[in-house]
């Protein structure tokens, strides 16, 4: 079996536990595809849930004492290197993107053919690598909120990976968009299409008179009740994440939202649970190709410097996405 380079870790901790090491190249079954990874991007789950093991309740899935899977990474973009005997829709050399169940920060990744979408001409590997989790989360959250032409949309946490996609996609759907972010990110959020920007360090959006048809909460920081009061009578509050503690993280907040959602006939409250969707991926990649959507990429790093990339992300709260070039 041949070897490849990958980012591995055998214990929970800070970025110092990461190693750039040789590991076995994954094998594939009859329905599998081996992808030569050209780019990957870092997500919240990569550097908090998987690396640090927070919230601790997540370790029930990832491993109690140590990680069950010791290669990080979920977003991949690259070329097909091999296909299984039953794969008919893809061929060696095709440009693809998708979400894997970790093991994406590596030279090669194995996944099912049904988990991969095609990258169109005009979309780079670097851009495509930002889409599987962040782009899909933004698109599905807006869809859950019923966003359409002339909708008024508030995006709390507008400058992050998901937030920058949410602002742009809401504009592409014809909405009037207000983004909530810090001072340093205000110009960025205006530049990607937000009609209004609220600087949370200077202004409390929950004290404003404006009302919104859709609120997408990506950052937490405000009581759900205070944000819900900003909705129009038939508005929808969509929660995708939020702040929380080291043991349970944002789970209590999201669980409370989910538990109370059935009791709201108007001013609906929803929890966005992102689902893997090749159709959504290919739609997003097509929007990048035609210029409707521009992934915000703050910085790129070579795979060997993944630990430095995560340190930067933790210290600076990146604007948009950080991408690993492989």
Give all domains of the chain, ordered by start, each with its CATH number: 3-130+295-325 (3.90.180.10), 133-271 (3.40.50.720)
Assess contact for 318 and 152: CB atoms under 8 A: no
**What pLDDT score does 251 carry?**
47
The reported pTM is: 0.90
pLDDT at 40 over 90: yes
Give the confidence band of 52 by pLDDT, cuts at 50, 70, 90: low
Tokens representing 98 are 């998708």
pLDDT single digits (tens) 77-136: 999 999 999 999 999 999 999 999 889 999 999 999 999 999 999 999 999 999 999 999
Residue in the block written with tokens 């993107």: 97
What's the token pair of residue 170?
Answer: 């809401």
- H/E/C letters for each residue in 51-87? CCCCCHHHHHHHCCCCCCCCECCCEEEEEEEEECCCC
Instruction: Report d(CA 41, CA 47) in Å as an integer.
Output: 11
Burial class (CB in 10 A: 0-12, 13-18, 19+), 185: buried
Q: What's the chain's length in residues?
A: 326
Q: Confidence band (pLDDT; 50, 70, 90) for 318?
A: confident
Residue 57 pLDDT: 62
Separation CA 286–CA 102 (nearest Å): 25
Band of the pLDDT at 15, cuts 50, 70, 90? confident
Phi then psi dihedrals of residue 152, to 5 deg: -105, 125
Task: Record the tokens describing residue 77, joined without a space.
Answer: 């973009």
Residue of 21, 3, 14, 15 lying closest to 304 (CA atoms): 21
Task: Output DSSP code: residue 245.
Answer: B
pLDDT for res 160: 93
- Which 8-state DSSP code applies to residue 290? T
């Amino acid at each position: 079996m041949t070897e490849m380079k990958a980012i591995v870790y055998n214990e929970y901790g800070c970025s110092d536990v990461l190693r750039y090491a040789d590991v076995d190249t994954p094998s594939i079954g009859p329905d599998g595809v081996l992808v030569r990874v050209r780019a990957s991007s870092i997500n919240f789950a990569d550097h908090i849930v998987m690396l640090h093991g927070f919230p601790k309740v997540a370790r029930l899935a990832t491993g109690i004492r140590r990680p069950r899977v010791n290669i990080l990474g979920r977003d991949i973009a690259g070329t097909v290197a091999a296909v299984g005997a039953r794969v008919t829709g893809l061929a060696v050399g095709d440009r693809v993107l998708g979400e894997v169940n970790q093991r994406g920060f590596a030279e090669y990744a194995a996944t099912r053919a049904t988990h991969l979408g095609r990258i169109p001409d005009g979309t780079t590997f670097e851009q495509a690598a930002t889409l599987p989790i962040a782009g899909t989360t933004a698109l599905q959250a807006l869809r859950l909120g019923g966003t359409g032409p002339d909708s008024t949309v508030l995006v709390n946490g507008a400058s992050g990976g998901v937030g920058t996609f949410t602002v742009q996609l809401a504009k592409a759907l014809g909405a009037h968009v207000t983004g909530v972010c810090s001072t340093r990110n205000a110009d960025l959020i205006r530049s990607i299409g937000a009609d209004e920007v609220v600087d949370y360090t200077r202004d409390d959006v929950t004290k404003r008179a404006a009302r919104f048809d859709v609120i997408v909460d990506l950052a937490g920081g405000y009581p759900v009740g205070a944000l819900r009061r900003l909705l129009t009578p038939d508005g929808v509050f969509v929660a995708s994440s939020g702040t929380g503690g080291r043991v349970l993280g944002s789970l209590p907040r999201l669980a409370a939202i989910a538990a109370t959602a059935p009791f709201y006939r108007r001013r609906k409250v929803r929890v966005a649970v992102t689902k893997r969707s090749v159709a959504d991926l290919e739609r997003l990649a097509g929007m990048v190709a035609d210029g409707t959507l521009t992934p915000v990429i703050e910085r790129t790093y070579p795979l060997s410097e993944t630990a430095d990339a995560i340190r930067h992300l933790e210290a600076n709260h990146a604007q948009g996405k950080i991408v690993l070039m492989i």
